[in-house]
Amino acid sequence: MKLELHGITKRFGSLVANDHIDLTVEEGQIHALLGENGAGKTTLMNVLFGLIQPDEGEILLDGRPQHLGSPSHAIRAGIGMVHQHFMLVPVFTVAENVTLGMERTRALGWIDRRRTRRDVRELSERYGLQVNPDAMVEDLPVGVQQRVEIVKALLREASVLILDEPTSVLTPGETQELFRIMRELRAGGRSIVFISHKLKEVQEIADVVTVIRRGQVVGQLPPTASDTELAALMVGRSVQLRVTKKPAKPGEVRLDVQALTVPGEEEKPALDGVSFQVRAGEILGVAGVQGNGQTELCQALLGLRPAASGSVRLDGRDLTHATPQHRLRAGLAYVPEDRQEDGLVAGFSVADNIILDVFDQPPYARGIAMDLATRDAAAAERVADFDIRTTSTATPVGTLSGGNQQKVILAREVGREVRVLVASQPTRGLDVGSIEFVHRRIVEQRDQGLAVLLVSSELDEIYALSDRIAVMYEGRITGFRPPDVPAEELGMLMAGATGADAAATGEAVVQAPTAGGPDTGLMGSGVLGVGVPTDTTTNPSSITHGSPAGDQPATDDDGGEPE
Amino acid sequence: MSEPAAPPPPAAAEPAAAEDASSAPRGRPPVSRVVLDSILEGNSVVVTILAIVVAMVLGGLLIAFTDPDVLRAWGSFFSDPGYAISLAWDTAWGAYVAMFEGAIFNPHTLTAIFHQASLGTALHNGYFSALFNPLSETAVNATPLIFTGLSVGLAFRAGLFNIGAAGQWIGGAIVATWLGFGVSLPPVIHVVVCVLGGFVGGAVLGWIVGELKARTGAHEVVVTIMLNYVMYYFLSYILGTKAMQQPGRTDLISPVIDIDARLWHIAGPSLRINAAFLLALLTAAGVWWLLERSTTGFEFRTVGANPSAARTAGMSVEKTWVRAMLIAGGLAGLAAVAVIQGTDYQLNFQSYGTYGFDGITVALLGRARPLGIVLSALLFGALHAGGVQMQASTQIPVDIVTVIQSLIVLFVAAPPLIRAMFRLRKAKATGLSENVAKGWNA
């Protein structure tokens, strides 16, 4: 079915969320909608799904204008939506979830389970969804739950499928699986609107890319467009996709972790004899598929999880059994993985969040009396310094965009005297512009002599920032590698191969770094001679530091530090 | 021990709050928490005021249509509709006029002054006292509610439901009363000692709750409700023992406290208003300072808004719970001080009243902010003072006041209802309530 949007406009008060948006999605097309957080993508899709009524404009399906007053109208018209947060009942089976709201009944209101199961199985086979109709939804991994949502839409005969940021919850492997399914669906003649802010994914899967910025369509490009081109359109200015950084000058050992073991939820320890050191002026990247102990490692470093054995030393001081407060005071800066949950108090002002871990220290407090003037002055300074976009320091931090929230956390953590920075997934869910900023700041901190431990499940991020890479698998570190290690080898380590195996296999598989050679590598630094393997299967298709396209001008060598 | 007829045990009036006692999954606030958050954060002042107005209107209808005369008139509605309507109106109006006269100002007292020979004789004969008596009664009724409201409100800001203000009240009352009659001290010192004793009596109970939660994870709602029962029966026991029972009495009542232990009247001996009211206002200001301007309050608020973030920022969530409950308990103890040392001068079940539970309502209506709590306590105080007058002059039962209070809370708790009734647009979401909304969607 061909979907056309003409001049869709939606205003919320003075804010124009959608400004005369035109969009045409052909039958059998995967149409990517690319835009930063807050660009108006979700509003547009909510209009399309009947959740919001547009102020102006019309929606046509196969040339016929539609009035979509509610989601049920949209569903009847053949539009299906897979939300970012799934709308499933965890304690129901797949078949029950799928028929919820459209139960097929036989005489006397008996629900025809057999028919539903058969339908689910049929659809599942046709598109290779691999969904078992009898499985309980709560037992399924996130990727499969998402496929249940797709089945749900398909069963309602959706010919236009809207996927709202579908990859944000998926692992790299699951993402590839989703892409395969999307291709199958396209082959079956369905139209797909794919919402994303991840350039690589869009390049990989889309037939057409429409870029939205501030509620307006700013361009339509083929997926072959370079990532710089896309990013520039999306952000509205040219974006430095590669982090320029000088070679590291490691100094003395700042963070020394020896044989750290932390009990897990089950019998197996969450951390099993982890040892590493981070020196002043270097970034140690911890790579690994999520859920292999990275979260626990960070929590243990902050002191939120007690260590069963082993030791944690900061500048030689034993902090193994210190409280979080002790460790923070000893010079640990901590950027938590879950910004909303652990990093910020959403209802508090920007200023209060900036002093959240120094609120009772001079000069912010004298005795138990807080000095609000000092707080506000310090906050104003950080807001300017970190370019935090907020109307004032009194604005609740929860109303800020994700990127600005992360800036608040960074401003807080590195704004005081610190020795070691532990940053966990520092750019998760951020848009291109913010990622650039956060990365630049992390490198800056390194250059000022901080020891940085970067934990990330984005391989690109690890490559872009790390001076050394450690790989975690099932609570252990399976190996340390230099930053020019091929992705295949890291992939092997991430899958649990021991160091020696991985090195052997990696060498066997990997050819010389492709496309462009060392000087266009992520580091932009000829000194390290880093090339980035592209188009590798283990490389998660993710946000930033895109494949080094050949036409990309090499960033300045050596002296290429910004500022 | 003999068990003389004691009034029924404290009503377990908070099923909603009790429900979340069952462990809530990590990362997602329990439903009751979300609901309370949205009550406390999501309402604009306009909605609160409209809720009060609507509750008063419905209360008026209730007054009119429970009156036998009005019902009889409506029975013959078709023969004389005008009479039925006007009688209903007069009844409701009369009740509210009586309430107003009892709570704020009675014009008759003013005219009476001018019937006196001179202002001097009027003053001498207590006519001025009569003029200000309604306001004094409102303040007296509001005072303990300010304290219990602050108790519940402060705990709530730290993320805790203090359902135990009733029990903490008893703790404070026992200590303050015993110090009042059991020891003799010089004038001012005796008052101060009793006030501090009342605070400590309540604080100990609050501390127990906080400590249990911090050490064992026992939910404060369950513990406080249970402690309410414990304290209730402890009170009925101790009032029957030699230690607390007034000699020569068989009913449950304590001896009268020393004159030196009583709080001073601040508007002449014939008006009941006393220093407790000033203490309540000062305490409200103090709680405001503590919450908004001190490091302790910053910790309370952080832990209340997001315990995980508090922990990540190096705060001790457990210690904060203990401290918050300790202060909350102490505040409830001060409510007992206001009653025992301010007006009743002895302890029995009548002084116990319903302050502890009304405190929850007051805190809700005041959105857990000290100023809001003072205002809503004054409103409830006025309703109580007026209700007594209304019953005396119109024979309408004082219980109608409870109905109006409940209706106010009902409407405050259902802001969409009020918004729909008055076609208000949704209040611009503040950070926290926006988060709550997100919580619903997630």
- A297-327 pLDDT, tens digit per residue, is 999 999 999 999 999 999 999 999 999 999 9
- Gap from A118 CA to chain B (nearest CA, Å): 31
CA angle, corner A239, sides to A386 and A453, nearest 5?
A: 55
Q: How far apart are CA B395 and CA A182, in angstroms?
A: 75
Using a CB-CB cut-off of 8 Å, the residues of chain B touching A397 are 431
Ramachandran quadrant class, A429 (left: phi over 0; alpha: psi -120 to 50; beta: rest): left
Using a CB-CB cut-off of 8 Å, the residues of chain B touching A330 are none
pLDDT exceeds cutoff 60 at A346 = yes
Cβ of A324 within 8 Å of Cβ of B312? The answer is yes
In 3D, which of A392, A325, A393 has the Cα closest to residue A361? A325
Residue B71 lies in a domain: no
Residue of chain B whose Cα is closest to the Cα of A350: B431
Total structural domains within chain B: 1
Neighbours of A477 (CB within 10 A): 22
In 3D, which of B149, B199, B166 has the Cα closest to residue B341? B199
- Gap from A473 CA to chain B (nearest CA, Å): 25
- Gap from A370 CA to chain B (nearest CA, Å): 5
Q: How far apart are CA A435 and CA A415, in angstroms?
A: 19
E strand intervals along A474-533: 476-481
Which of A87, A304, A342, A345 should one mutate to test binding to chain B, selecting the residue with the greatest count of B CBs within 10 A?
A: A345
pLDDT exceeds cutoff 90 at A411 = yes
Q: Is A348 on the interface with B (CB under 8 A)?
A: yes
Cβ of A348 within 8 Å of Cβ of B305? The answer is yes
Share of chain A above pLDDT 90, in %: 37
pLDDT exceeds cutoff 60 at A506 = no
Q: How far apart are the first and last CA of chain A?
A: 51
The pair of three-digit structure tokens given for residue B152, joined into one six-digit string: 């519940």
Neighbours of A174 (CB within 10 A): 18
Residue A487's contacts (CB-CB under 8 Å, 6 or more residues apart) are: A459, A463, A510, A533, A536, A538, A539
Predicted complex ipTM: 0.79
Helix axes B275-293, B127-157, angle to 10 degrees: 30
The SS3 of residue A129 is coil
| CA torsion through residues A204, A205, A208, A210, sign | negative
- Gap from A84 CA to chain B (nearest CA, Å): 9
Tell me what pLDDT residue B13 has: 40
Residue A194's contacts (CB-CB under 8 Å, 6 or more residues apart) are: A30, A31, A32, A33, A163, A166, A182, A202, A205, A206
Residue A302 lies in a domain: no
Q: What is the DSSP letter of A239?
A: -
Tell me what pLDDT residue B154 has: 97
Which of A305, A332, A368, A374 should one mutate to test binding to chain B, selecting the residue with the greatest count of B CBs within 10 A?
A: A368
Residue of chain B whose Cα is closest to the Cα of A375: B293
- Gap from A497 CA to chain B (nearest CA, Å): 34
* Contact (Cβ atoms closer than 8 angstroms) between residue B257 and residue B180: yes
Cβ of B312 within 8 Å of Cβ of A85? The answer is no
Cβ of B293 within 8 Å of Cβ of A372? The answer is yes
- A39: domain CATH number is 3.40.50.300
- Gap from A158 CA to chain B (nearest CA, Å): 23
3-state helix, strand, coil in chain B (%, to 5): 75, 0, 25
Burial class (CB in 10 A: 0-12, 13-18, 19+), A222: exposed
Q: What is the DSSP letter of A166?
A: G
Cβ of A336 within 8 Å of Cβ of B293? The answer is no
Interface of B with A in 284-303 (CB under 8 A): 293-296, 298-299, 301-302
Q: How far apart are CA A335 and CA A338, in angstroms?
A: 9
Interface of B with A in 222-251 (CB under 8 A): none
Tell me what pLDDT residue A544 has: 39
The tens digit of pLDDT for each residue in A68-98 reads 888 888 888 999 998 877 888 888 888 888 8
| Phi, psi values for residue B7, rounded to 5° | -60, 160
The pair of three-digit structure tokens given for residue A442, joined into one six-digit string: 């992390």
Cβ of B309 within 8 Å of Cβ of A365? The answer is no
Top pLDDT among A268 and A348 is at A348
The tens digit of pLDDT for each residue in A103-112 reads 777 777 777 7
Query: Looking at this protein, which amino acid is placed at residue A320?
Result: T
Q: Is A328 on the interface with B (CB under 8 A)?
A: yes
Using a CB-CB cut-off of 8 Å, the residues of chain B touching A352 are 298
Q: DSSP characters for A320-360?
A: TT--HHHHHHTTEEEE-S-IIIII--TTSBHHHHHTTTTTT
Q: Is A138 on the interface with B (CB under 8 A)?
A: no
Q: Is A342 on the interface with B (CB under 8 A)?
A: yes
Q: Is A334 on the interface with B (CB under 8 A)?
A: yes
| Phi, psi values for residue A399, rounded to 5° | -90, -5
| Phi, psi values for residue A453, rounded to 5° | -110, 115
Q: How far apart are CA A426 and CA A445, in angstroms?
A: 14
Cβ of B312 within 8 Å of Cβ of A359? The answer is no
Q: Is B15 on the interface with A (CB under 8 A)?
A: no
**Residue indicated by tokens 């309430």:** B99
Residue A555's contacts (CB-CB under 8 Å, 6 or more residues apart) are: A240, A242, A244, A524
Q: How far apart are CA B51 and CA B161, in angstroms?
A: 23
Parent domain of B51: 30-61+143-371+398-441
Partner residue opposite B308 with nearest CB, options A334, A342, A359: A342
pLDDT (mean) for A203-229: 89
Q: How far apart are CA A52 and CA A68, in angstroms?
A: 9
In 3D, which of B142, B138, B133, B188 has the Cα closest to residue B284? B142
Q: What is the DSSP letter of A62?
A: T
Query: Looking at this protein, which amino acid is placed at residue B57?
Result: V
Q: What is the DSSP letter of A291?
A: T
The SS3 of residue B265 is strand
**Residue indicated by tokens 């309050």:** B297
Q: How far apart are CA A550 and CA B22, in angstroms?
A: 60
Q: Is A502 on the interface with B (CB under 8 A)?
A: no
pLDDT exceeds cutoff 90 at A171 = no
In 3D, which of B346, B352, B174 has the Cα closest to residue B255? B346
Segments in chain B below pLDDT 50 = 1-27, 427-442
Q: In what order do the strands lie in the sheet with A317-318?
A: A271-279, A253-262, A309-314, A317-318
Total structural domains within chain A: 1
Q: Is A369 on the interface with B (CB under 8 A)?
A: yes
The tens digit of pLDDT for each residue in A414-469 reads 888 899 999 999 988 787 788 889 999 999 999 999 999 999 987 888 999 999 99
Residue of chain B whose Cα is closest to the Cα of A349: B431
Q: How far apart are CA A552 and CA A549, in angstroms?
A: 6
Cβ of B441 within 8 Å of Cβ of A85? The answer is yes
Q: Is A232 on the interface with B (CB under 8 A)?
A: no
pLDDT (mean) for A277-282: 95
Residue B66 lies in a domain: no
Helix axes B275-293, B317-339, angle to 10 degrees: 170
pLDDT (mean) for A407-420: 92
pLDDT exceeds cutoff 90 at A340 = no
Q: Is A500 on the interface with B (CB under 8 A)?
A: no
Q: Is B440 on the interface with A (CB under 8 A)?
A: no
pLDDT exceeds cutoff 80 at A356 = yes
* Contact (Cβ atoms closer than 8 angstroms) between residue B361 and residue B380: yes
Query: Looking at this protein, which amino acid is placed at residue A455?
Result: V
Residue B10 lies in a domain: no
Residue B352 lies in a domain: yes
- Gap from A347 CA to chain B (nearest CA, Å): 4
pLDDT exceeds cutoff 80 at A404 = yes
Residue A410 lies in a domain: no
Residue B212 lies in a domain: yes
Partner residue opposite A347 with nearest CB, options B296, B299, B431: B431
Reply yes or no: is the peptide bond before residue A133 cis, omega within 30 of 0.
no
Q: Is B1 on the interface with A (CB under 8 A)?
A: no
Interface of B with A in 33-72 (CB under 8 A): 41
Q: How far apart are CA B378 and CA A140, in angstroms?
A: 55
Partner residue opposite B431 with nearest CB, options A338, A343, A396: A396
How many inter-chain contacts (A to B, CB under 8 Å) are there? 91
Tell me what pLDDT residue A152 has: 87
Residue A241 binned pLDDT confidence (cut-offs 50, 70, 90): low
Tell me what pLDDT residue A29 has: 93
Q: What is the DSSP letter of B274?
A: B
In 3D, which of B388, B401, B393, B377 has the Cα closest to residue B60? B401
* Contact (Cβ atoms closer than 8 angstroms) between residue B331 and residue B146: no
Cβ of B431 within 8 Å of Cβ of A398? The answer is yes
Interface of A with B in 379-398 (CB under 8 A): 396-398
Helix axes B399-413, B31-42, angle to 10 degrees: 100
Q: Is A57 on the interface with B (CB under 8 A)?
A: no
Residue B97's contacts (CB-CB under 8 Å, 6 or more residues apart) are: none
Which of B312, B316, B435 should one mutate to test binding to chain A, selecting the residue with the greatest count of A CBs within 10 A?
A: B312
Tell me what pLDDT residue A439 has: 93
Residue B88 lies in a domain: no
Tell me what pLDDT residue B8 has: 47
- Gap from B338 CA to chain A (nearest CA, Å): 28
Cβ of B432 within 8 Å of Cβ of A399? The answer is no
Top pLDDT among A493 and B438 is at A493
Residue B333 lies in a domain: yes
In 3D, which of A225, A216, A248, A212 has the Cα closest to residue A448? A248
Q: How far apart are CA A501 and CA A189, in angstroms?
A: 45
Q: Is A65 on the interface with B (CB under 8 A)?
A: no
Tell me what pLDDT residue A112 has: 76
Residue A562 binned pLDDT confidence (cut-offs 50, 70, 90): very low
Residue A388 lies in a domain: no
The SS3 of residue A63 is coil
- The secondary element (H helix, E strand) that includes residue B121 is helix B119-124
E strand intervals along B225-274: none
The four Cα atoms B337, B343, B348, B349 give a dihedral, to 10 degrees, of -90
Cβ of B302 within 8 Å of Cβ of A348? The answer is yes
Parent domain of A44: 3-235
The four Cα atoms B276, B281, B286, B290 give a dihedral, to 10 degrees, of 120
Helix axes B81-103, B45-65, angle to 10 degrees: 120
Q: Is A347 on the interface with B (CB under 8 A)?
A: yes
Interface of B with A in 313-342 (CB under 8 A): 313-316
Cβ of A368 within 8 Å of Cβ of B301? The answer is no
